[in-house]
């Protein structure tokens, strides 16, 4: 499928086996897509709670955030595999494939901002990052609807954003335990915002050049 995000992991035999097992159960791709929202909600909840707990518990919350983010990404992976490789695709499948991402990304990114206490504008950065993340997807979809190739390039596409947040949570767990600070999360959120702006520029430029030529 042309509109699928290119992921090498789809070719992994172990992943294919899991997808085949899921497709044999009474589970639909749309249900898996909806499950990804719940994973994002739990990831956001654990991040928002970080400032309310002491260092040892913050580490646990960061670990749970990482787990829920990875579960969300696994849902994103298997909903498409079950739909395509499992032969369970439906006419409305594209809605369930895209809308949950537009909900899940903002939840996690906004929560990331509220987890920051070293500055007073962390929440503002979080809301800005959420807006920019949605805009990158909007631009991709808009340009594709105009006849240009679907463009998943970064540097801050969905998988890059989630990798950045996962890495930030990993480092922040150690930072909060040993230094009682959260500068890593702040730096990661700034990188996310700047990266989304660059991604928007690159996608608009590529779409403009294709459409004009």
pLDDT at 167: 98
Q: 95-104, 127-136, 181-190: which range is least confident on average?
A: 95-104
CA distance 2 to 89: 15
Q: What is the pTM of this model?
A: 0.92
CA distance 165 to 66: 8
Percent of the chain with pLDDT over 70: 94
- Position 7 pLDDT exceeds 80: no
Answer yes or no: are the C-beta atoms of 212 and 169 closer than 8 Å. Answer: no
Closest C-alpha to 157, from 127, 94, 202:
202
pLDDT at 6: 64
- Position 9 pLDDT exceeds 80: no
């Amino acid at each position: 499928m042309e509109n699928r995000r290119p992921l090498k992991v789809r070719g992994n035999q172990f992943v294919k086996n899991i997808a085949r097992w899921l497709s044999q159960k009474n589970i639909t791709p749309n249900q898996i897509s909806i499950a990804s929202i719940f994973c994002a909600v739990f990831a956001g909840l654990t991040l928002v709670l970080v400032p309310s707990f002491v260092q040892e518990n913050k580490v646990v919350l960061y670990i749970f955030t990482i787990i829920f983010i990875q579960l969300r990404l696994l849902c994103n992976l298997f909903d498409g595999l079950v739909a395509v490789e499992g032969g369970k695709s439906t006419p409305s499948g594209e809605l369930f494939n895209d809308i949950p991402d537009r909900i899940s990304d903002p939840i996690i990114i906004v929560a990331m901002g509220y987890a920051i206490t070293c500055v007073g504008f962390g929440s503002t950065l979080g809301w800005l990052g959420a807006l920019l993340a949605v805009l990158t997807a909007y631009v991709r979809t808009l340009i594709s609807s105009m006849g240009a190739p679907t463009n998943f390039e970064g540097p801050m596409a969905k998988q890059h954003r989630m990798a950045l947040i996962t890495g930030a949570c990993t480092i922040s767990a150690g930072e909060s335990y040993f230094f009682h600070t959260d500068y890593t999360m702040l730096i990661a959120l700034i990188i996310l915002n700047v990266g989304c702006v660059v991604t928007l520029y690159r996608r608009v430029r590529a779409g403009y050049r294709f459409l004009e030529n």
